[in-house]
């Protein structure tokens, strides 16, 4: 279930169920603005920002649509483990 | 079928109404607190009517409190609706999954708060000394119903405004 970080309990839950993503990196790489991505996915542009900040974990449906938009497998965009920093081995 | 009204409503929630009023979480919480104070004023009117009606004093105090509450609540609700981008005011089909989840959370919290309030009202009414023939002013009953209605109506948007985290900056703003 999507988790919205807001209250203390919400933050603790979000920390436990945190899903890391590379939306910001992919977006920058493809030169897509938040609003363009939001329009393509049919969501509010602020939702893209909350996703990028890790304050909202998307439903499976939205996650698959984001991966579909960037034409990459879903595990390229989302991971339960933090993504390695660029340049790290 | 989408009406012109819902389109206009959706556009209105995307406009930044008085952005400085809701720019930070602290300010949004102050606004939600002011909305809560407005609700408390209407309830105060009910208490005044219960104790002093029928009398001119009760009428003037009740009307003054009601007008003051409306004057506070109107801008507060307008600004909080803009801050939350219509999370609790728009139709569900106009919201995305994050907004729908936030709306459900706001309604759940408001429902719980309303339940507590109803319990307090029941205890207060049953705690009034007297018997079946005790006189209760009609003004107090009317104000009580108005208070319940306004509380039920405003609580979700106040909760949503209170909970709203700081939105991420628009990438057009950061560019």
Q: Where are the domains of chain A?
A: 8-70
Instruction: For an interface test with A, give the residue of B87, B92, B171 to mutate (most A CBs within 10 A).
Output: B171
Ramachandran class of A62: left when φ > 0, alpha when ψ lies in -120 to 50, beta otherwise? alpha
CB pairs under 8 A between A and B: 55
pLDDT lower than 70: segments of chain A = 1-17, 86-89
Distance between CA atoms of residues B38 and B166, nearest Å: 24
At residue A21, the 3 state secondary structure works out as strand
Please tell me the distance in Å from B168's CA to the nearest CA on chain A.
5
From chain A residues 20-79, the ones with a CB under 8 A of any chain B CB are 33-35, 42-47, 49-50, 52-53, 55-56, 58-59, 61-62
The full set of domain ranges for chain B reads: 24-165
* Between A79 and B4, the higher pLDDT residue: A79
At B148, is the pLDDT very low, low, confident or very high (cuts 50, 70, 90)? Answer: very high
Query: Can you give the pLDDT at residue B153?
Result: 94
Complete DSSP assignment for B9-43:
HHHHHHS-SSGGGGSSHHHHHHHHHHHHHHHHHHH
Q: Is A52–B168 a contact, with Cβ atoms under 8 angstroms apart? A: yes
Q: Is B165–A5 a contact, with Cβ atoms under 8 angstroms apart? A: yes
Choose among B105, B163, B167: nearest Cβ to A46: B167
Average pLDDT over residues B23-39: 94
pLDDT of B15 higher than 90 = no
Distance between CA atoms of residues B97 and B11, nearest Å: 19
Q: Which residues, including other chains, have CB under 8 Å from residue B165's CB and lie 6 or more apart?
A: A5, A6, A50, A55, B25
Distance between CA atoms of residues B18 and B16, nearest Å: 6
Q: Is A46–B169 a contact, with Cβ atoms under 8 angstroms apart? A: no
Query: Can you give the pLDDT at residue A1?
Result: 46
Q: Which two tokens stand for residue B5?
A: 């009204």
pLDDT of B57 higher than 80 = yes
C-alpha angle B25-A54-A57 in degrees, rounded to nearest 5: 105
Distance between CA atoms of residues A7 and B109, nearest Å: 12
Distance between CA atoms of residues B1 and B17, nearest Å: 28
pLDDT of B123 higher than 50 = yes
Query: Can you give the pLDDT at residue B142?
Result: 93
pLDDT digits over B69-121, tens only? 999 999 999 999 989 988 998 888 889 999 999 999 999 999 999 999 999 99
Query: Which fold, A8-70?
Result: 434 Repressor (Amino-terminal Domain) (1.10.260)
pLDDT of B141 higher than 60 = yes
- Nearest alpha-carbon partner for B85 in B15, B2, B5, B162: B15
Say if the ipTM goes beyond 0.95: no
A20 DSSP β-pair partners: A79
Q: Which two tokens stand for residue B45?
A: 């009117």
Query: Can you give the pLDDT at residue B60?
Result: 93
How many CB atoms are closer than 10 A to CB B70? 13
A78 DSSP β-pair partners: A21
Q: Which two tokens stand for residue B79?
A: 């600004």
pTM for the predicted model, two decimal places: 0.82
* Between B9 and A75, the higher pLDDT residue: A75
Q: Which two tokens stand for residue B146?
A: 């108005």
Compute CA distances A52 → A20, A28, A73, B63, whole Å.
9, 12, 18, 49
Phi, psi of A78 (to 5 degrees): -120, 145
On chain A, the residues whose CB falls within 8 A of the CB of B85 are 44, 46
Query: Can you give the pLDDT at residue B132?
Result: 77
Query: Can you give the pLDDT at residue B13?
Result: 75
Q: Which two tokens stand for residue A72?
A: 């990459």
Give the pairing type, strands A78-79 and A20-21: antiparallel
Query: Can you give the pLDDT at residue A9?
Result: 61
């Amino acid at each position: 279930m999507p988790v919205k970080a807001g209250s203390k309990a919400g933050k603790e839950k979000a920390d436990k169920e945190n899903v890391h993503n590379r939306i910001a990196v992919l977006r920058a790489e493809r030169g897509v603005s938040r609003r363009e991505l939001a329009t393509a996915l049919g969501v509010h542009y602020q939702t893209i920002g909350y996703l990028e900040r890790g304050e909202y974990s998307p439903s499976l449906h939205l996650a698959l649509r984001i991966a579909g938009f960037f034409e990459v497998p879903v595990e390229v965009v989302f991971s339960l483990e933090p993504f390695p920093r660029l340049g790290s081995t | 079928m989408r009406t012109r009204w819902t389109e206009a409503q959706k556009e209105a929630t995307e406009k930044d109404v008085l952005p400085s009023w809701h720019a930070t979480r602290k300010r949004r919480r102050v606004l939600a607190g002011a909305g809560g104070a407005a609700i408390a004023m209407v309830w105060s009117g009910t208490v005044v009517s219960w104790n002093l009606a029928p009398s001119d004093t009760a009428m003037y105090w009740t009307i003054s409190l009601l007008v003051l509450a409306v004057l506070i609540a109107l801008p507060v609700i307008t600004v909080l609706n803009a801050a939350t981008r219509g999370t609790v005011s728009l139709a569900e089909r106009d919201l995305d999954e994050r907004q729908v989840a936030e709306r459900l959370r706001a309604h759940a919290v408001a429902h719980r708060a309303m339940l507590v309030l109803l319990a307090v009202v029941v205890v207060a009414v049953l705690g009034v000394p007297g018997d079946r023939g005790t006189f209760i002013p009609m003004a107090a009953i009317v104000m009580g119903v108005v208070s319940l209605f306004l509380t039920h109506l405003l609580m979700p948007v106040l909760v949503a405004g209170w909970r709203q985290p700081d939105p991420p900056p628009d990438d057009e703003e950061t560019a």
